[in-house]
Structures are given as C-alpha cells and as structure tokens.
Amino acid sequence: MAKVLVSACLLGAKVRYDGRDNLLDHPVLKRWHQQGRLVAACPETLGGLPTPRAPAEIQTRFPILITTDADEDVTPEFLSGAEQALDLAHQHDCCCALMKARSPSCGNQEIYDGSFSGTLTTAPGVAADELLRNGIPVFNEHQLGELIDFVEQQGAAA
C-alpha cells in the first residue's frame, strides 16, 4: 500500500511557527488516514525548533543559511529536520510527499525570498528539496488532484 509523507500541520497538528495548524479537510486524505497511508512529519520541530517560534527564511543556498526575522541562525535545525523527514519517508517506504506550500522547509515550488517582505521566489524549501533530490515527488495542498492520481497509480502497481 503506497504511503505518503505529509506536513504535520496539514493534518491538523498545531506545529506552525505561530502555534496554529493548516488542516486540510479532504475526503481522500481522511480515507488514506483511516487506511494508515499517511506519515506525518514536521521538519522544523523534528529538527528541534520549538512551537511557537520566530518565522525563518532561507537567505542563501550556497552555502545554505537560514535565519529568523531576528537574524538568529537556525540552519542546523532546518537541515536536521530535512534529514529526519527523508529518513521517515524511507522508513515508511513513502512513494511521495504532500507538503505545505511556501514553507521554508516544506514548500515544493516557491518560498519567501529571505527579505521577510512577503516576496516569493521560485525554489523549494529545505526538506522538500531533500526529498526531491532523493527521488521522492513532492506535491503541495494546491496539487491534490495530481497527488491523488499519482498515489492511485502507485497503489495499482503495488
């Protein structure tokens, strides 16, 4: 049975930087949850950051630098969380991931540009990047149709 790594906040865990969740209420997700197909992961809390926490953005990629809006370096926590998310995906043999859009960890296509001004740039977050570089497709909550098609194809092949 194909499993999916999911951003914990999309499943209702109150792990966002502001202590809230991003619950995604969808019947297919509910069914997959009941079937034990969902593996929740919050890379930032896995990496040791508290909730609530200061917002953070990626400043540079080479070398990687992630700071909070108070200029605190949280790069080690983000990198550790990304590695742990990948480990979880491997442990559970996840075929793909459903990750929160625009998060500096979970965003798969675009993230904020490091200026804390609400400006987006085309790039993945740290954990999504780790998954993608290891061959695990990452979808966001606006790509549920594509995700469902992909998972059902994997299930049919299993």
Binding positions for ligand SF4, rule: CB under 6 A: 7-9, 15-16, 42-44, 100, 103, 105-106
Nearer to ligand SF4, 42 or 151 (CB): 42
Nearer to ligand SF4, 68 or 155 (CB): 68
Nearer to ligand SF4, 94 or 155 (CB): 94
Query: What is the secondary structure of the chain as a DSSP string?
Result: --EEEEEGGGGT---STTS-------HHHHHHHHTT-EEEE-HHHHTT--SS---EEEEEETTEEEEETT--B-HHHHHHHHHHHHHHHHHTTEEEEE--TB-TTT-SSEEE-SSSSS-EEE---HHHHHHHHTT--EE-TT-HHHHHHHHHHHHHH-
Q: How far is the CB of 9 from ligand SF4 (least distance, A)?
A: 3
Q: How far is the CB of 147 from ligand SF4 (least distance, A)?
A: 16
